[in-house]
Structure 1
Amino acid sequence: MTMPGAPGSDNATRPAFVLASASPRRLDLLAKLGLVPDRVLPASIDETPRRDEPPRQYVKRMADEKARRVAEQLSDPALILGADTVVTLGRRILPKAEDRATARQCLSMLSGRRHTVMTAIRLMPSAAWPEGRTCERVTETVVTFSRLSDYQIDALLDAGDWEGKAGGYALQGHAAGFIRFISGSASAVIGLPLFETAQLLRGQPGNWLP
């Protein structure tokens, strides 16, 4: 598939496609759509939830702020993709596991329980591309873990693929062997809902996707 702005392409004048995230998982998922960002510009924002902020409102705000922060930095025509994923138990947002203790706490809470993973995506044009459209989607996926023993939690922690993951697990990692039910978008749990992303790109001016 011809990439946006590729030399010799009929779409050589199309704006740059910019991913407002450093997530290698999102890069891998975009590749499944045949897309390689022209630039990867992680957005530095405060990701602290506001007091009593519902998870859906929070994840939408995060995706919007990431895309907006990067759009403000660009002076050339560009289409920016911002995304954010949260794991929720009811109205509670589980943290990203930056240490083993946090990952253990998350897995203990998720053990034997159903939870919801919300991923928001936001497409936003830079000011230099007024033809572009700002649009968003939020996907909700229900995931259920089997009941985890202390030994199984230790094994997941030793595997190490919990690091930096919302809720302390990666669907594409070792935790997959303990997930007994999923309803919704598996790619959204990993970090980017492919169907919804493709639909939004198809709605932008230009031939972004077939």
Structure 2
Amino acid sequence: MLPVLKQLNSKRIVLASSSPRRKELLKTVGLNVESCASTFDENLDLKDFNGFAEFVEETALQKVLEVANRLNAKAEADGKPKVDIVIGADTMVTLDGRMYGKPTSKDDAIETLQKLNGKTNIVYTGVAIKYADHIHTFTEMTEVQFGNCTTEQIKAYVDTGEPLDKAGSYGIQHIGSTLVERINGDFYTVMGLPVYRLSHKLNQLFQEYQ
């Protein structure tokens, strides 16, 4: 992406998310983005999809389409240029065929972490990119092996408040890293945005549709 970074930054790029982590990752690689949280009601049913990858991709896509349609309608009404690129993502932690999203309470977070404890969970992050009139989606998957933590450690972690807005009730980049023994795959997929693959795809889309 580096050879076309300047040209990409001449476009209006929107992240369809209010996640400070995702925005910071994009800023870290040099992209100038604005954030716009999607109002898409995340009520898709896993049973309607052929697995977790399809599910998170479709959720990410619906977030992107909602933001793109809303912002472009406003731009048209205001007589301003439409959004050039919209990026969205959805992350889900899975274990034994079950999905774990954001916890509903501290007790829910503790229960989830006790289930993940000592086991390998799989994190899926689906990404959708709307580049002008072109849509591209993909999913990255990373295995996360939890260490054997005591109930006291898990409760102390939940008490920090860190897990309460994160899929699977943990964040790998801060205090939650003390629960993780090792990973197999892209670290940034667990954070919520697979940077390498996203950068590669943005470069490819620019080359194809500039």
Q: Same fold (TM over 0.5)?
A: yes
Aligned mates of 1:48, 1:25 — CA distance in 2 = 23
Are 1:34 and 2:40 matched, yes or no?
A: no
Question: Among residues 118, 123, 128, which one is paired with 2:129 in the alignment?
Answer: 123
Higher helix share: 2
SS in 2 for 1:163: helix
Partner of 1:61: 58
CA deviation vs aligned residue, 1:170-201 (integer Å, no higher than 9, x gap): 00121211211200011110111110110111
Q: Which runs of 4+ in 1 moved over 6 A?
A: 1-4
CA 119–2 in structure 1, closer or farther in 2 if over 3 Å, else same: same
Aligned mates of 1:109, 1:49 — CA distance in 2 = 24
Structure 1, unaligned runs of 5 or more: none
TM-score scaled by length of structure 2: 0.85
Partner of 2:116: 110
Cα displacement (A) at 1:204? 2.0
Partner of 2:162: 161
Are 1:82 and 2:91 matched, yes or no?
A: no
Are 1:50 and 2:54 matched, yes or no?
A: no
Between the two proteins, what is the percent identity of the paired residues?
Answer: 28
Please report the RMSD computed on the Cα atoms of aligned residues, expressed in angstroms: 2.3
Structure 2, unaligned runs of 5 or more: 77-81
Contact 2:4/2:203 (8 A) holds in 1 = no
Corresponding residue pairs, total: 196
Aligned mates of 1:66, 1:29 — CA distance in 2 = 19
Contact 1:14/1:206 (8 A) holds in 2 = no
Contact 2:12/2:83 (8 A) holds in 1 = yes
CA deviation vs aligned residue, 1:13-48 (integer Å, no higher than 9, x gap): 9431011000000011111211120x3111111213
CA 135–97 in structure 1, closer or farther in 2 if over 3 Å, else same: same
Partner of 1:15: 11
Moved more, 82-91 or 70-79: 70-79
Moved more, 137-146 or 87-96: 87-96
Aligned mates of 1:149, 1:72 — CA distance in 2 = 47
Aligned mates of 1:107, 1:13 — CA distance in 2 = 40
